[in-house]
Amino acid sequence: MAKMKAAMAAVLVMEKEGVTNAFGVPGAAINPLYAALRERQSITHILARHVEGASHMAEGYTRAKAGNIGVCIGTSGPAGTDMITGLYSAIADSIPILCITGQAPRARLHKEDFQAVDIQSIAKPVTKMATTVLEPAQVPRVFQQAFHLMRSGRPGPVLIDLPFDVQMAEIEFDIDTYEPLPVYKPAASRKQVDKALDMLMAAEKPLIVAGGGIINADASDLLVEFAELTGVPVIPTLMGWGTIPDDHPLMAGMCGLQTSHRYGNATMLASDFVLGIGNRWANRHTGGIDTYTKGRTFVHVDIEPTQIGRVFEPQYGIVSDAKAALELFVQAARERKAAGKLKSFATWAARCAERKALMHRKTNYDNIPIKPQRVYQEMNAVFPRDTVYVSTIGLSQIAAAQFLNIYGPRQWINCGQAGPLGWTLPAALGVVAADPTRTVVGIAGDYDFQFLIEELAAGAQFKLPYVQVLVNNSYLGLIRQSQRGFEMDYCVQLAFDNQNVEDETLKGYGVDHQKVVEGLGCKSVRVTDPSKLQDALRQAQATAREFSVPVVVEVILEKVTNIAMGVEIDKINEFEDIDCRHPQGTEGLVAAGLLD
């Protein structure tokens, strides 16, 4: 046993639990913890410019690599309230992050002390646990419980609030005998998997819907093996994008109202059976439930018991960690294949592949100002196969999901349910911090970019190189498009005549992002001609490597472009030209039964 301050015990537990990186902003109420961090020198700390930014960095760090748990740290009062958005984002997407806040001394908690707020009550709805530790001796065990909860069942965030005097108190603690608690994950039984496989074998046109739970469970290889054994095509959700490579013959496209492919929606509508694994039937994926479920049988596998039946009732549900379930699905499928008891879905899979080959949206525009579709076409051409893309929300994210190619798990890092503006930059920095050798590319519209733009300074200071693609239309583009239903274009224009801008091509685009970026210590290149996009992207990659800083590629877009979306998966308004590769166009697709 050893005597130590409770703050030191917290740091030692984090070390034992595998924490090597933290993101935060020090302050008076959390300084004892920072003193312990300084003494140990075992956890690398990145100083954010905003505590919300720190919480999103922690998210990006967790999402980047299996087993990671990002840690964000702030002082008392507004630091905690600023990190609530990061906690909401994390719990919505089942991402474990640990948020640590300082707090006023215990004796002053009820006296309206400076920056004393009941953060545990505020954070409880958006965490798996939120607690203010009132007894110093409990600190190491509260941290132990936090890591156990974050990793068990459906993953999610925890907030630990530490009063100043609790951090400073001396306690007895033996770190040498400390062991992390066993992680609990529910697992499917063989009987359940056999029943689900019987239902799948009774279908004629089955699909697998692969959700983000497969990525969280590090089970993408098992998913691909199961799909290949059975010959069943896969529809990844937005959070499950990358579970199967985009160019795999059984990758059938994404389904949904916005972040979807034409062929993915058409294939979903043609199916008669869906096996959902690690997904939550999000509304942007399903659209109206009647349209989505009509004529289809559903089996739902999810780690969270209350997720099954939450959106609609499946015909069969299995509570299981995705990896545990897929291990049994693969085992059962192998046995059935060896016994000659697997039905062939080759004809159906070929029809899905035919849709995928023929049903595309046009990207090869030469317009000036640049049309956004062209940007993603050139990104596919320039960036390597293992590129990690980071995005959050808006037309930039929706277009990215429609036009980019993703080839592996954790190569699409996206804030799915919460979608806070400003998320992209700090999350990308967190991804880079997890592995500075990877090619990381952020995708943001100008409003998302401006929300937490100051975090670029953290990228410059701590040498976190990545390429940030900024598509600038000087609009809140997605909200402008949604306002069409109200016949208005109101309070969504970011454009103004910047008196400091002399370049005529930028007149009326407002903020001079290049000057801001360079003032924050980063590099920037601006593109106004689509023929120069590839060179700019390559230059940005080289510059990021040379200077070890974020490099922003600002692309000046036409101000108004409507990106394909709709209110039902069978009623998507395409707006722009269709790159239909059938010799007889869309009529040929209909005649061939590809839009059945």
Q: Domain ranges for the chain, please list them.
A: 2-177, 190-360, 363-556
Domains 2-177 and 190-360 equal at CATH topology level: yes
| Cβ atoms within 10 Å of 292's Cβ, excluding its own | 23
Q: Say how far apart CA 353 and CA 438 lie, in whole Å.
A: 31
- Cβ neighbours of residue 132 closer than 8 Å, sequence gap 6 or more: 103, 109, 118, 119, 120, 161, 162, 163
Which of 19, 238, 476, 525 is the catalytic position?
476
Which of 109, 175, 479, 516 is the catalytic position?
479
CA distances from 320 to 179, 199, 278, 304, 313 (A): 26, 18, 9, 8, 17
Which of 51, 328, 370, 494 is the catalytic position?
51
Residue 295, class by beta-carbon neighbours within 10 Å (0-12 exposed, 13-18 middle, 19+ buried)? exposed
Q: Which fold has domain 363-556?
A: Rossmann fold (3.40.50)
Which of 19, 25, 87, 235 is the catalytic position?
25
Q: Is 229 annotated as catalytic?
A: no
Q: Between 3.20.20.140, 3.90.76.10, 3.40.50.970, 3.30.70.640, what CATH number should domain 2-177 receive?
A: 3.40.50.970
pLDDT tens, position by position, for the chain (596 residues)? 699 999 999 999 999 999 999 999 999 999 999 999 999 999 999 999 999 999 999 999 999 998 999 999 999 999 999 999 999 999 999 999 999 999 989 888 887 777 778 999 999 999 999 999 999 999 999 999 999 999 999 999 999 999 999 999 999 999 999 999 999 999 999 999 999 999 999 999 999 999 999 999 999 999 999 999 999 999 999 999 999 999 999 999 999 999 999 999 999 999 999 999 999 999 999 999 999 999 999 999 999 999 999 999 999 999 999 999 999 999 999 999 999 999 999 999 999 999 999 888 999 999 999 999 999 999 999 999 999 999 988 888 999 999 999 999 999 999 988 878 999 999 999 999 999 999 999 999 999 999 999 999 999 999 999 999 999 988 776 777 888 888 888 888 878 888 888 777 777 788 889 999 999 999 999 999 999 999 999 999 999 999 999 999 999 998 888 888 899 999 988 887 777 677 667 777 777 777 75
Q: Is 421 annotated as catalytic?
A: yes
Torsion of CA 104, 110, 114, 117, to 10 degrees: 80
Q: Is 476 annotated as catalytic?
A: yes
Q: Is 25 annotated as catalytic?
A: yes
DSSP string, 275-325: EEES----HHHH-SHHHHHTT-EEEEEESSGGGTTSSS--SEEEE--HHHH
Which of 13, 197, 421, 471 is the catalytic position?
421
Q: Between 3.90.480.20, 3.30.470.20, 3.40.50.150, 3.40.50.1220, what CATH number should domain 190-360 receive?
A: 3.40.50.1220
Residue 34, class by beta-carbon neighbours within 10 Å (0-12 exposed, 13-18 middle, 19+ buried)? buried
46, 70 contact by CB (below 8 A): no
- H-state helical runs in 520-574: 533-547
Q: Is 43 annotated as catalytic?
A: no
